[in-house]
Structure 1
Amino acid sequence: MQDIKDTVKEVILAVLPITIVIIILQFTLLWLPMEVFLQFLVGVVMVSSGLILFLLGVHLGLLPVGEMIGSALPKTKKVSLIILVGFLLGFVVTVAEPDVRVLSSQIEDVSDGEISQMVLIYSVALGVAIFVALAMARIIFNIQMKWLLVGGYGFVFLLAAFTPNSYIPISFDAGGVTTGPMTVPFILALGVGVAAVLRGKSSSSDSFGLVALASIGPILAVLMLGVIYG
Structure 2
Amino acid sequence: MNNIKETVLEVVYSILPITIVITILQFTLIYLPAETFLQFLIGVIMVGIGLILFLLGVNIGLLPVGEMIGSALSKTKKLGLIIFFGFLLGLVVTIAEPDVRVLSTQVDTVSGGAIPKSILILSVALGVGIFVAISMVRIVFNINIVYILAIGYGLIFLLAAFTPSTFVPISFDSGGVTTGPLTVPFIMALGVGVATVIRGKTASSDGFGLVALASIGPILSVLVLGVIYG
TM-score, with normalisation over the residues of structure 1? 0.99
Match of 2:142 in 1: 142
Match of 2:42 in 1: 42
Match of 1:81 in 2: 81
Tell me the alpha carbon deviations over residues 21-78 of structure 1, each in whole angstroms, 9 at most, x when there is no partner.
0100001111111000100000000000000011111010000000000111111110
Tell me the alpha carbon deviations over residues 81-106 of structure 1, each in whole angstroms, 9 at most, x when there is no partner.
00000000000000000000000000
Name the SS for the 1:88 alignment partner. Answer: helix
Is residue 178 from structure 1 mapped to residue 178 from structure 2 by the alignment?
yes
Tell me the alpha carbon deviations over residues 135-165 of structure 1, each in whole angstroms, 9 at most, x when there is no partner.
0000001111111000000000001110000
Match of 2:65 in 1: 65
Match of 1:168 in 2: 168
Counting only pairs closer than 5 Å after superposition, residues 23-42 of structure 1 correspond to structure 2 as: 23-42=23-42
Name the SS for the 2:163 alignment partner. Answer: coil
Is residue 202 from structure 1 mapped to residue 202 from structure 2 by the alignment?
yes
**How many residues are aligned here?**
230
Name the SS for the 1:211 alignment partner. Answer: helix
Tell me how far 1:129 sits from its aligned partner. Answer: 0.1
Name the SS for the 1:35 alignment partner. Answer: helix
Match of 2:8 in 1: 8
Match of 1:95 in 2: 95
Match of 1:220 in 2: 220
Is residue 129 from structure 1 mapped to residue 126 from structure 2 by the alignment?
no
Overall identity of the aligned pairs, in %: 72
Letter in 2 for 1:70: G
Q: Cα RMSD between the aligned structures? A: 0.4
- Paired with 1:169 and 1:29, the residues of 2 have a C-alpha distance of 31
TM-score, with normalisation over the residues of structure 2? 0.99
Tell me the alpha carbon deviations over residues 177-207 of structure 1, each in whole angstroms, 9 at most, x when there is no partner.
0000000000000000000000010011101
Tell me the alpha carbon deviations over residues 94-146 of structure 1, each in whole angstroms, 9 at most, x when there is no partner.
00000000000000000000001111001000000000000000000111111
Tell me how far 1:14 sits from its aligned partner. Answer: 0.2
- Paired with 2:142 and 2:181, the residues of 1 have a C-alpha distance of 27
Gaps of at least 5 residues in structure 2 are none
- Paired with 1:151 and 1:26, the residues of 2 have a C-alpha distance of 48
- Paired with 1:27 and 1:204, the residues of 2 have a C-alpha distance of 50
Name the SS for the 1:164 alignment partner. Answer: coil
Letter in 1 for 2:75: K
